[in-house]
Amino acid sequence: MGRELLTVIEQIGREKGIDTGRILDAVESALLTAAKKKYGAAENIQVRIDRKSGEVEAISLKKIVNEVTNPKSEVSLEEARRVDTEAELGDEIGSVIEIEDFGRIAAQTAKQVIFQKVREAEWEVVQREYSARQGDLVNGI
């Protein structure tokens, strides 16, 4: 995805007059929503888009504990040490989630969230543009 994603986001930003950072935040939010839909809301998931390369990274974070009571949010110390030998109790350890595995329904959810956030941003642009003209008579097409 990478650079192509940034190119598309920059193009949308230019066409609609929306800050690209705002659109990137919307895409991150949409991917987070899709991930939580696929893996469950109890999962501690973080989604980040690198603002320079466009690379998308989704990570499931789990707290390291002695005894696992919630496998969605906790991992045992011995299991964590298989991944990171310096892992300690109370730390968080992350595992990469493949975005390609989200599935069709999660992808549609992400699409809806992106469209909604872009519409909200467009509305704010229009509102900002015309708020200064409040009380003026404006002719429109």
Q: Name the pLDDT band for 1 (thresholds 50, 70, 90).
A: low
CA gap 7, 5 in Å, rounded: 5
The whole-number pLDDT of residue 40 equals: 80
Residue 18 neighbours by CB distance under 10 Å: 20
pLDDT of 101 over the 80 cut: no
pLDDT digits (tens, 9 = 90+) for 6-23: 898 899 889 988 899 999
pLDDT band, residue 63 (cuts 50/70/90) = very high
Q: 138 by DSSP, 3-state: which? A: coil
The angle formed by the CA atoms of residues 21, 73 and 80, to the nearest 5 degrees, is 100
Domain assignments of the chain as residue spans, ordered by start? 2-125
- pTM (2 d.p.): 0.75
- Tell me which CATH code domain 2-125 carries: 3.30.1480.10
- pLDDT, tens only, 41-56: 777 899 999 999 989 8
Give me the chain's average pLDDT, please.
87
